[in-house]
């Protein structure tokens, strides 16, 4: 059994270590996992999750939301939050606004009391985008020589009952619990012993939060005495709550608290994280088999374009339970058929959606059963626009990539999809009419963003422009798309759409992730894919990210 830490702060709130420094320290301490739970902030999560892809330490995306009941701040932790969701970011911006209003007023009171602090100086003393907390006030006063210790700063100026303290407008803890639930997260009551409530008042709080959707309670904590830990364990059992634990590590702002071990004897077992993951997946499972639709590159495939052994085993187990297997890819049909054969996927008899929903192919009948192409007028107009911009573009015949110039881009793409290309005089004279166009830039996505804006300004009623990665801008018919293909494949397999599951990672998957009853984005996926998804995987495509989600269906 390995140790974890589910309560950690970085420089993006009131910690003194950056996400990168925290990850390095967690590796040095041999932690299996830790959760970044900054106060009312998710700014450090993208950075940390990107870095963790090359680490053996699992990172849990989290948050600690500050709420209040009369006379007391209450903190609610959220684990595996989909922190990209607009509703959460709007909620946090409102919290930050309220916090900043309080900070300005408190700086004014402290300055009027003869201290050297001003809001402008306080803000300049920390990194941009840092959420200011009372720890930052205390550090500023200490560095300015106004107090001899951070403890003195709290006891004389920053404590709840000090004349210079300003209470801020806050949300109720029940609101935080519901918000965390609404973005797929697992809400947990943080360090309940620290509130110094009577047993009766604490139990009343727990009962109210349980009714709002509370899933767990912080049972193991750096400063708990043995009797206090037993008290919280009893509450957890009584209200059927998950037991979690954390050090509440802040770096040098709390020098007596160490990452992973608290005050020296803290041990948080990794089985706590298993319970949180199971809770996260609880609303994802179904009593009846459904249809599974997989994007390939970056999702079902690792970066070597293979299916890992663990992923294949999990896939076969879920297919044995009667789930239908389908593929939804931006790749051209010839490319995906070759990949299906090389990966030995034909035996699963998948329906295949290729060209980002431009066609649906029945593998058992070896025929296209649905297709959607660009009109001649629209195709001609787009070709003219892309040529004028001096960008590479290509489309397809049934068996090859076709383009009008032999470029570095087409050679890269041909190798990427393992499909031959042919240079022709005029792609518009080839058959069939284009399922889609791809225009490319190998180094600068902004060039493609500009091209997308120009195309959509003229052809928004006719086409969609979507990124399958930063180098490929795909132009497909407005009536096409992976969502359209997903509904069609559910009908063809006689599966109710409310039992559809989509697994994907890029912007060209957004329509499918949004439409599916259960949309799962890879943690290595794009921002747009994550915003559209109901769930985000715990690990990336190179570390069996799909496995827990497939196993949950068995």
Taking the CA atoms of the chain, what radius of gyration do you get in angstroms? Answer: 27
Cα torsion through 268, 274, 279, 280, rounded to 10: 100
**164 falls within a domain:** no
Is residue 178 domain-shared with residue 232, that is, in the same domain?
A: yes
Which of these three, 255, 280, 305, is where a domain ends?
A: 280
Is residue 397 domain-shared with residue 410, that is, in the same domain?
A: yes
Contacts of 502 (CB under 8 A, 6+ apart): 293, 295, 328, 482, 486, 509, 512, 513, 515, 516, 518, 519, 520
Question: And the tokens for 487?
Answer: 């509904």
Mean pLDDT score across all residues of the chain: 94
What string of DSSP letters covers 234-277?
Answer: HHHHHTT-EEEEE--B-GGGSTT-BTTTBTTT---BTHHHHHHH
Q: What is the pLDDT of residues 326-367, one digit of tens each?
A: 999 999 999 999 999 999 999 999 999 999 999 999 999 999
Instruction: Of 432, 430, 468, give the one whose Cα is nearest residue 452.
Output: 468
Mean pLDDT of 399-403: 92
Mean pLDDT of 77-81: 97
Instruction: Of 300, 295, 297, 323, give the one whose Cα is nearest residue 513.
Output: 295
CATH no. for residue 98?
A: 1.10.150
Is residue 443 domain-shared with residue 399, that is, in the same domain?
A: yes
| Whether the Cβ atoms of residue 403 and residue 393 lie closer than 8 Å to each other | yes
Is residue 380 domain-shared with residue 509, that is, in the same domain?
A: no
**414 falls within a domain:** yes
For residue 187, CA distances in Å to 44, 80, 81, 244 come to 19, 9, 9, 11
Is residue 468 domain-shared with residue 488, that is, in the same domain?
A: no
Cα–Cα distance measured from residue 421 to residue 399, given in angstroms and rounded to the nearest whole number: 9
Q: What is the pLDDT of residues 314-325, one digit of tens each?
A: 999 999 999 999
pLDDT at 362: 95
Which of these three, 280, 303, 321, is where a domain ends?
A: 280
Q: 1-5, 131-135, 191-195: lowest mean pLDDT where?
A: 131-135
Contacts of 198 (CB under 8 A, 6+ apart): none
**248 falls within a domain:** yes
Residue written as tokens 């890269």? Answer: 412
| Total domains present in the chain | 4
pLDDT at 71: 79
CATH no. for residue 44?
A: 3.20.20.140
Is residue 432 domain-shared with residue 399, that is, in the same domain?
A: yes
**13 falls within a domain:** yes
Is residue 524 domain-shared with residue 413, that is, in the same domain?
A: no
Q: What is the pLDDT of residues 289-305, one digit of tens each?
A: 999 999 999 999 999 99
Q: Per-residue b/e over 11-30, b at no fewer than 16 CB within 10 Å?
A: bbbbbbbbbeebbebbeeee
Q: How confident is the model at residue 134 (pLDDT cuts 50, 70, 90)?
A: confident
CATH no. for residue 486?
A: 3.40.50.1000
Indicate if the pLDDT at residue 515 is higher than 90.
Answer: yes
* Number of residues that this document lists for the chain: 554
Q: How confident is the model at residue 433 (pLDDT cuts 50, 70, 90)?
A: confident
Is residue 430 domain-shared with residue 386, that is, in the same domain?
A: yes
Is residue 409 domain-shared with residue 331, that is, in the same domain?
A: no
Contacts of 367 (CB under 8 A, 6+ apart): 361
CATH no. for residue 384?
A: 3.30.1240.10
Is residue 82 domain-shared with residue 190, that is, in the same domain?
A: yes
Is residue 515 domain-shared with residue 533, that is, in the same domain?
A: yes
Q: What is the pLDDT of residues 472-500, one digit of tens each?
A: 999 999 999 999 999 999 999 999 999 99
Is residue 32 domain-shared with residue 21, that is, in the same domain?
A: yes
pTM here is 0.84
Q: How confident is the model at residue 54 (pLDDT cuts 50, 70, 90)?
A: confident
Cα–Cα distance measured from residue 345 to residue 35, given in angstroms and rounded to the nearest whole number: 37
- Farthest CA pair distance, the chain: 84
**124 falls within a domain:** yes
pLDDT > 70 in the chain, percent: 100
**165 falls within a domain:** no
Residue written as tokens 């930052």? Answer: 136
**129 falls within a domain:** yes
Q: What are phi and psi of 323, to 5 degrees?
A: -70, 145
**168 falls within a domain:** no
Cα–Cα distance measured from residue 397 to residue 393, given in angstroms and rounded to the nearest whole number: 14
Q: How confident is the model at residue 431 (pLDDT cuts 50, 70, 90)?
A: confident
Which of these three, 428, 443, 477, is where a domain ends?
A: 477
What range defines the domain where residue 469 resides?
Answer: 376-477
Question: And the tokens for 382?
Answer: 């787009």
């Amino acid at each position: 059994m390995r140790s974890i830490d589910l309560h950690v702060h970085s420089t993006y709130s009131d910690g003194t270590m950056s996400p990168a420094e925290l990850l390095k320290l967690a590796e040095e301490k041999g932690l299996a996992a830790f959760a970044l739970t900054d106060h009312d902030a998710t700014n450090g999560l993208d950075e940390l999750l990107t870095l963790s892809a090359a680490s053996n330490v699992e990172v849990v995306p989290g948050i600690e939301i500050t709420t209040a009941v009369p006379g007391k701040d209450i903190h609610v932790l959220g684990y595996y939050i989909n922190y990209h969701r607009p509703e959460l970011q709007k909620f946090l911006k409102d919290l930050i606004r309220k916090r900043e209003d309080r900070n300005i007023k408190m700086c004014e009171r402290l300055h009027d009391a003869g201290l050297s602090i001003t809001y402008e100086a306080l803000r300049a003393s920390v990194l941009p985008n840092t959420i200011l907390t009372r720890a930052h006030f205390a550090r500023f006063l200490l560095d300015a020589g106004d107090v001899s210790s951070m403890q003195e700063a709290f006891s004389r100026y920053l404590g709840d009952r000090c004349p210079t303290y300003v209470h801020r407008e806050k949300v109720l803890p029940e609101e935080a619990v519901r918000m965390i639930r609404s973005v797929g997260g697992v809400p947990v009551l943080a360090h309940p012993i620290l509130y110094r409530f009577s047993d009766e008042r604490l139990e009343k709080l727990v009962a109210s939060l349980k009714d709002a959707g509370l899933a767990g309670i912080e049972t193991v904590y750096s400063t708990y005495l043995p009797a206090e830990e037993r008290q919280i364990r009893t509450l957890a059992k009584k209200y059927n709550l998950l037991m979690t634990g954390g050090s509440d590590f802040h770096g040098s702002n709390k020098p007596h608290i160490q990452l992973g071990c608290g005050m020296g004897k803290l041990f948080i077992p990794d089985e706590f994280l298993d319970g949180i993951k199971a809770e996260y997946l609880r609303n994802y499972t179904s009593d009846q088999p459904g249809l599974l639709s997989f994007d390939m590159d970056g999702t079902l495939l690792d970066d070597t374009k293979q299916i890992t052994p663990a992923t294949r085993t999990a896939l076969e187990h879920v297919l044995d339970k009667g789930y239908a297997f389908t593929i939804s890819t931006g790749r051209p049909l010839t490319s995906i058929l070759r990949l299906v054969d090389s990966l030995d996927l034909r035996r699963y008899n998948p329906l295949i959606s290729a060209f980002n929903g431009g066609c649906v192919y029945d593998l058992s009948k070896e025929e296209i059963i649905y297709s959607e192409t660009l009109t001649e007028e629209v195709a001609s107009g787009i070709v003219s626009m892309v040529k004028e911009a001096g960008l590479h573009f290509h489309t397809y015949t049934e068996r090859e990539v076709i383009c009008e110039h032999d470029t570095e881009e087409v050679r890269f793409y041909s190798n990427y999809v393992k499909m031959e290309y042919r240079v022709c005089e005029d792609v518009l004279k080839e058959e069939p009419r284009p399922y889609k166009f791809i225009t490319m830039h190998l180094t600068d996505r902004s060039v493609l963003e500009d091209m997308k804006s120009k195309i959509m300004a003229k052809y928004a009623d006719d086409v969609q422009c979507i990124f399958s990665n930063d180098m490929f801008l795909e132009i497909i018919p407005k009536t096409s798309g992976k969502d359209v293909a997903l509904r069609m494949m559910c009908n063809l397999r006689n599966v109710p759409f409310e039992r559809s599951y989509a697994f994907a990672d890029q912007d060209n998957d957004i329509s499918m992730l949004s439409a599916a009853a259960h949309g799962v984005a890879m943690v290595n996926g794009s921002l747009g894919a994550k915003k559209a998804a109901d769930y985000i995987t715990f690990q990336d495509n190179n570390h069996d990210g799909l496995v827990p989600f497939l196993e949950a269906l068995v």
